[in-house]
């Protein structure tokens, strides 16, 4: 089999992990010599660094042969897909070739399980070793580790990789047992714990190495230098869970994530919406969950990591699912109106973090500004805050929401306006895939990467999860901010006048529940999440 053919198969197999920034847009290519560029090619995916840079990774599997029969995976042993396998040298050569051509800035390597876990892991580690030691490769490397691999192999992987990840695959042990009986949830968590110990030890060593050693008595002016501590996966570890392959609700998923963050100090938990696969077991759903569910889970995850929310606060009582129409922070604010309005000129940071429409960076800027003067609505406009979203929940020098906060139809007013139904709504609304080979990927996860020369400064990147790569292609949706601006423009006269009626800071806890607005599904309802809308 030629290298090109292998690349086509194994890059395609890895697309289910893929986090391509171009996913969700219309399919275009330059086959036939017409035009330039493509939104369909596999193998090189794009991830976003926190500073907004788009970075490219060669995302491939070492092999898509696998001994296991995980029901949700297109590469399971019983799946009828073309198979291929790279040698470690071939992956090294491909990485170097792409890097030299400036096509990529790093490697994301995963694999099906061949022979046994240790053998597979050895091959994966050998790729990273050869890149680092034989070729002095200084780009980014993310390795998917095989859960049952020996501790020695994990330690070696961490020596060469910037980030390691082990997939928990499914949110509960019961689901994993039912859909991937060969996998052992205890083994997965044991490997995560081992990685955490290695990462913690490496950080402690690095901290000690940074301390000046005892000064030499013979030359007191020049403190002796310590040797640099050995590095271990400076980008930390991450994991991925598949959403919608079983009946687990969002509350349970977020509880599982909170446990993972707390117990193993993960950098990220990635959520990947399940996609139906050919010849699937009857236990699997026929349709994919809405992409918006995945997006809401990411937003809820953000709330837990950056906004001080506890996982049990985010999903309201009921069916245990996040509201698909509004983001979780807004849903929380609507359900806890007694906590609002928040005075932006006086409230502590913890309270500001609870205000819908205010992001972490915006809050930092507001805190800086209010040190020198009182905040007004103009200040929020200058920071590009959505006034429509925020005004019912805040007071500033020239605005108080008054009775707006008590309005029974407030939730309805803040929901996205109904949109004209599109030709392909029936297909996109239930998330039905167009690709017959759509499926979850082996040991897969979304990617984050950095190309900074300092590995230790690796950022966390938000990337569009793998399932987005095989959804019904839809035209690029207008950004939420654009929608919010147009909605705001329509309602501007009513909102621009500050309310004159004073309102108490403390409000009764009980409010009438607001029924969801029966909105018609729109063309972009299931458009994959866009990075800029993830932060609540």
Using CB under 6 A as the binding criterion, the count of chain residues that bind ligand SF4 stands at 11
Q: Does 272 bind ligand SF4 (CB under 6 A)?
A: no
485: its two tokens: 């601006």
Q: Does 76 bind ligand SF4 (CB under 6 A)?
A: yes
Backbone angles phi, psi at 36, to 5 degrees: -145, 140
If phi > 0 it is left, if psi is from -120 to 50 it is alpha, else beta; for residue 308 that is: left
Alpha helices in 371-515 (DSSP H): 377-382, 387-390, 410-414, 425-429, 480-496
- The residue among 442 and 528 lying less far from ligand SF4, judged by its C-beta, is 442
| Shortest Å, Cβ 487 to ligand SF4 | 42
| Shortest Å, Cβ 84 to ligand SF4 | 13
Q: Does 75 bind ligand SF4 (CB under 6 A)?
A: yes
Q: Give the count of beta carbons closer than 10 Å to the beta carbon of residue 290.
A: 19
Residue bearing tokens 């996998």: 183
| Shortest Å, Cβ 159 to ligand SF4 | 24
Quick one: which of 265, 272, 292 has its CA closest to 194? Answer: 265
Q: Which residues pair with residue 63 across a beta bridge?
A: 85
320: its two tokens: 């245990």
Please choose, out of 73-81, 88-96, 353-361, 446-454, the segment that lies near ligand SF4 by the rule CB under 6 A.
Answer: 73-81
- The residue among 43 and 112 lying less far from ligand SF4, judged by its C-beta, is 112
If phi > 0 it is left, if psi is from -120 to 50 it is alpha, else beta; for residue 143 that is: beta
Report 164-193 residues binding ligand SF4 (CB under 6 A).
180
CA separation for the pair 378, 295 (Å, rounded): 31
CA separation for the pair 378, 503 (Å, rounded): 22
Q: Does 467 bind ligand SF4 (CB under 6 A)?
A: no
Q: Which of 11, 45, 62, 66 binds ligand SF4 (CB under 6 A)?
A: 66
In this structure, are residues 175 and 248 in contact, taking their beta carbons and an 8 Å threshold?
A: yes
Report 191-220 residues binding ligand SF4 (CB under 6 A).
none
Q: Give the count of beta carbons closer than 10 Å to the beta carbon of residue 349.
A: 12
* Binding map of ligand SF4 across residues 326-345, x = CB under 6 A, - = no contact: --------------------
- The residue among 329 and 443 lying less far from ligand SF4, judged by its C-beta, is 443
Please choose, out of 70-78, 242-250, 394-402, 419-427, the segment that lies near ligand SF4 by the rule CB under 6 A.
Answer: 70-78
SS (H, E, C) 20-66: CCCCCCCCCCCCCCCCCCCCCCCCEEEEECCCCCEEEEEEEECECCC
| Shortest Å, Cβ 180 to ligand SF4 | 6
Q: Before 401, cis peptide (omega within 30)?
A: no
Report 83-122 residues binding ligand SF4 (CB under 6 A).
112-113
Q: Strand runs (DSSP E) across 396-524, as ranges? A: none
Q: Does 431 bind ligand SF4 (CB under 6 A)?
A: no
| Shortest Å, Cβ 166 to ligand SF4 | 11
Residue bearing tokens 């959505």: 386
Q: Does 443 bind ligand SF4 (CB under 6 A)?
A: yes
Please choose, out of 66-74, 249-257, 377-385, 524-532, the segment that lies near ligand SF4 by the rule CB under 6 A.
Answer: 66-74
In this structure, are residues 168 and 188 in contact, taking their beta carbons and an 8 Å threshold?
A: yes
204: its two tokens: 């402690």
- The residue among 43 and 442 lying less far from ligand SF4, judged by its C-beta, is 442
* CA dihedral over 280, 286, 288, 289, signed as positive or negative: negative
Backbone angles phi, psi at 144, to 5 degrees: -85, 125
In this structure, are residues 93 and 128 in contact, taking their beta carbons and an 8 Å threshold?
A: no
Please choose, out of 63-71, 366-374, 420-428, 503-511, the segment that lies near ligand SF4 by the rule CB under 6 A.
Answer: 63-71
Q: What is the DSSP code (8-state) at residue 93? A: H
Q: Does 149 bind ligand SF4 (CB under 6 A)?
A: no
Quick one: which of 58, 65, 253 has its CA closest to 140? Answer: 58
CA separation for the pair 404, 361 (Å, rounded): 27
Question: How distant is the alpha carbon of residue 400 from its chain centre?
Answer: 36
Helix (H, G, I), strand (E, B) or coil at 306: helix
Helix (H, G, I), strand (E, B) or coil at 429: helix
| Shortest Å, Cβ 111 to ligand SF4 | 8
- The residue among 73 and 143 lying less far from ligand SF4, judged by its C-beta, is 73
Q: Which of 25, 40, 41, 68 binds ligand SF4 (CB under 6 A)?
A: 68
CA separation for the pair 459, 442 (Å, rounded): 24
- The residue among 22 and 441 lying less far from ligand SF4, judged by its C-beta, is 441
| Shortest Å, Cβ 74 to ligand SF4 | 8
Question: How long a stretch of residues is the chain?
Answer: 536
Q: Which of 235, 276, 356, 442 binds ligand SF4 (CB under 6 A)?
A: 442
- The residue among 118 and 406 lying less far from ligand SF4, judged by its C-beta, is 118
Q: Does 65 bind ligand SF4 (CB under 6 A)?
A: no
Q: Which of 70, 195, 291, 303 binds ligand SF4 (CB under 6 A)?
A: 70
- The residue among 180 and 458 lying less far from ligand SF4, judged by its C-beta, is 180
- The residue among 74 and 314 lying less far from ligand SF4, judged by its C-beta, is 74
CA separation for the pair 132, 107 (Å, rounded): 12
- The residue among 71 and 237 lying less far from ligand SF4, judged by its C-beta, is 71
* Binding map of ligand SF4 across residues 383-422, x = CB under 6 A, - = no contact: ----------------------------------------
- The residue among 177 and 361 lying less far from ligand SF4, judged by its C-beta, is 177
- The residue among 70 and 233 lying less far from ligand SF4, judged by its C-beta, is 70
Q: Does 73 bind ligand SF4 (CB under 6 A)?
A: yes
- The residue among 14 and 353 lying less far from ligand SF4, judged by its C-beta, is 14
What residue ranges bind ligand SF4 (CB under 6 A)? 66, 68, 70, 73, 75-76, 112-113, 180, 442-443
């Amino acid at each position: 089999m030629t290298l090109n053919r292998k690349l086509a198969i194994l890059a395609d197999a890895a697309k289910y992990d893929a986090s391509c920034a171009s996913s969700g847009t219309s399919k275009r290519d330059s086959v036939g010599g017409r035009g330039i560029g493509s939104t369909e090619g596999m193998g090189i995916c794009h991830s976003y660094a926190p500073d907004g840079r788009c970075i490219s990774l060669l995302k491939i599997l070492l092999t898509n042969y696998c001994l296991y029969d995980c029901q949700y995976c297109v590469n399971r042993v019983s799946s009828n897909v073309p198979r291929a396998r790279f040698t470690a040298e071939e992956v090294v050569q491909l990485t170097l070739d792409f890097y030299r051509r400036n096509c990529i800035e790093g490697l994301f390597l995963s694999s099906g399980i061949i022979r046994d876990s240790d053998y597979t892991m050895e091959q994966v580690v050998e790729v990273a070793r050869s890149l680092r030691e034989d070729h002095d490769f200084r780009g980014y490397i993310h390795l998917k580790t095989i859960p049952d691999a020996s501790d020695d192999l994990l330690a070696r992987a961490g020596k060469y990789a910037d980030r390691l990840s082990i997939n928990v695959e499914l949110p509960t042990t019961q689901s994993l047992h039912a859909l991937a009986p060969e996998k052992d949830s205890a083994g997965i968590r044991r490997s995560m714990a081992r990685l955490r110990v290695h990462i913690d030890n490496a950080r402690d060593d690095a901290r000690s190495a940074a301390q000046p050693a005892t000064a030499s008595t013979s030359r007191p002016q020049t403190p002796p230098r310590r040797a640099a501590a050995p590095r271990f996966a400076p980008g930390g570890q991450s994991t991925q869970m598949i959403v919608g392959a079983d009946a687990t609700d969002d509350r349970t998923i977020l509880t599982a994530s909170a446990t993972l963050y707390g117990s193993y100090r993960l950098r990220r938990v990635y959520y990947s919406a399940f996609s139906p696969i050919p010849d699937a077991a009857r236990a699997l759903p026929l349709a994919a969950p809405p992409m918006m569910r995945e997006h809401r889970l990411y937003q809820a995850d953000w709330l837990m990591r950056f906004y001080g929310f506890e996982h049990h606060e985010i999903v309201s009582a009921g069916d245990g699912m996040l509201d698909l129409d509004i983001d979780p922070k807004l849903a929380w604010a609507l359900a806890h109106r007694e906590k609002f309005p928040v005075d932006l000129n006086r409230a502590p940071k913890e309270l500001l973090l609870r205000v819908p429409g205010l992001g972490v960076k915006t809050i930092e800027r507001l805190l800086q500004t209010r040190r020198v003067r009182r905040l007004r609505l103009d200040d929020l406009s200058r920071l590009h805050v959505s006034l429509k979203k925020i005004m019912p929940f805040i007071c500033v020098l020239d605005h108080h929401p008054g009775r707006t906060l008590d309005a029974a139809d407030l939730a309805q007013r803040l929901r996205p306006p109904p949109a004209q139904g599109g030709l392909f709504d029936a297909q996109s609304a239930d998330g039905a895939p167009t690709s017959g080979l759509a499926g979850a990927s082996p040991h897969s996860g979304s990617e984050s990467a950095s190309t900074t020369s300092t590995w230790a400064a690796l950022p966390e990147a938000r990337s569009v999860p793998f399932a987005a790569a095989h959804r019904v292609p839809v035209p690029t949706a207008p950004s939420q901010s654009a929608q919010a601006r147009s909605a705001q423009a329509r309602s501007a006269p009513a909102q621009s006048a500050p309310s004159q009626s004073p309102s108490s800071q403390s409000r009764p806890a009980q409010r009438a529940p607001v029924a969801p607005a029966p909105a018609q599904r729109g063309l972009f309802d299931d458009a994959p999440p866009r990075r800029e809308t993830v932060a609540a």
